[in-house]
Amino acid sequence: MKVLVPIKRVVDYNVKVRVKADNTGVDLANVKMAMNPFCEIAVEEAVRLKEKGVVTEIVAVSIGPKTAQEQLRTAMALGADRSILVETDEDVQPLGIAKALKAIVDEEKPELVILGKQAIDGDNNQTGQMLAALTGMPQGTFASEVNVADGKVKVTREIDGGLQTVELTLPAVVTTDLRLNEPRYASLPNIMKAKKKPLDTKTAADLGVDLTPRVTTVSVEAPAERQAGIIVGSVDELVEKLKNEAKVI
């Protein structure tokens, strides 16, 4: 069975982003970029399914700038067999990405698509669900456990009240939550091998997809800073402040 793993190049999660002085966005100049953490979990899950013998081929795909090749190479170093870059300099948004992915799904016909539940830049949490709707596939979002058997996939989902398990017919879309697995690190020999794995480049025009954004960013501001308060000397003082000053208890 073939699995498609869409990934995104984003600011490394350790970087504290700063809003640009002109409020047009966040400053990404000379900032370390990396694979979105939820996407790493998606790659790891696909690799584990391959190690279990459930999956035979893993295809990584990214819709983004030429530099996203780096993240696709990382995915291949982690175990993806080949990858596809849909190259664009457009400010890609979930609907456009989902349409491009649908075109790739139509060509590749994977039985499972595993992707991150959200990217840590836009925090949209939309792409997997949109892809599922456009392709008519069922979805198991925010997955903390994935089991494939008998032409179906059982997904345990992290929901607000606890955990929910659903069973989906294949092909299906799964989006990963943090506790699905702990991604491995790529070994040096595997990083070297990944350089020789196939990486196809396509354009949105090749796929017949329009990536024009539907939502424009008017401005970006830094959030309101919270002022540090006071350090109290004792529990008594804390109780007194909460009762008489903050009046919250």
Partner 1 sequence: MSVLVYAEHDNAALNKVTLSVVAAAKAIGGDITVLVAGKGCGAVAEEAAKIDGVSKVLCADNDAYEHQLAENVGDLVAEVAADYTHVLAAATTTGKNFAPRTAALLDVAQVSEISEVIDADTFKRPIYAGNAIATVKSSDAKKVITVRGTSFDGVAAEGGSAAVEALDVAKNAGTSSFVGEELAKSDRPELTSAEIVISGGRGMGNGENFEILYKLADKLGAGVGASRAAVDAGFVPNDMQVGQTGKIVAPNLYVAVGISGAIQHLAGMKDSKVIVAINKDEEAPIFQVADYGLVADLFDAVPELDGKL
Scan residues 160-189 and list those touching partner 1 (CB under 8 A): 160-169, 172, 177-179
C-beta of 159 vs 192, nearer to partner 1: 159
| Subset of residues 195 to 214 that bind partner 1, contact rule: CB under 8 A | 213-214
CB 35 within 8 A of CB 7: yes
C-beta of 74 vs 127, nearer to partner 1: 127
Residues in the chain, how many? 249
C-beta of 59 vs 130, nearer to partner 1: 130
**Residue of 151, 189, 208, 229 interacting with partner 1 (CB under 8 A):** 229
C-beta of 71 vs 127, nearer to partner 1: 127
Q: Could you say whether residue 242 binds partner 1 (CB under 8 A)?
A: yes
CB 87 within 8 A of CB 211: no
Q: Could you say whether residue 249 binds partner 1 (CB under 8 A)?
A: yes
Q: Could you say whether residue 129 binds partner 1 (CB under 8 A)?
A: yes
- Give the x-and-dash track for 7-46 against partner 1 (CB under 8 A): ----x----xx-x------x--------------------
Which residues are CB-neighbours of 165 under 8 A, at least 6 positions away? 154, 155, 156, 157
Structure tokens given for 81: 């067999």
Question: Applying CB under 8 A, which part among 73-81, 108-116, 196-204, 225-233 lies near partner 1?
Answer: 225-233
C-beta of 65 vs 138, nearer to partner 1: 138
CA dist., res. 73 & res. 22, Å (int): 35
Q: What is the DSSP letter of 183?
A: P
Q: Could you say whether residue 219 binds partner 1 (CB under 8 A)?
A: yes
CA dist., res. 207 & res. 149, Å (int): 32
Q: Is 157 helix (H, G, I), strand (E, B) or coil?
A: strand
Q: How far, rounded to the nearest angstrom, does the alpha carbon of residue 28 sit from its chain's CA centroid? A: 19
C-beta of 80 vs 114, nearer to partner 1: 114
Which residues are CB-neighbours of 99 under 8 A, at least 6 positions away? 134, 209, 210, 211
DSSP state string for 87-131: E--S---HHHHHHHHHHHHHHH--SEEEEES--TTT----HHHHH
CB 55 within 8 A of CB 110: no
Q: How far is the CB of 8 from partner 1 (least distance, A)?
A: 14
| Subset of residues 63 to 92 that bind partner 1, contact rule: CB under 8 A | none
**Residue of 59, 85, 115, 130 interacting with partner 1 (CB under 8 A):** 130
Q: Could you say whether residue 109 binds partner 1 (CB under 8 A)?
A: no
Residue 106, φ and ψ in degrees, nearest 5: -60, -35
C-beta of 58 vs 98, nearer to partner 1: 98
Q: Could you say whether residue 236 binds partner 1 (CB under 8 A)?
A: yes
Question: How wide is the angle at C-alpha 80 spanned by C-alphas 76 and 86, nearest 5°?
Answer: 75
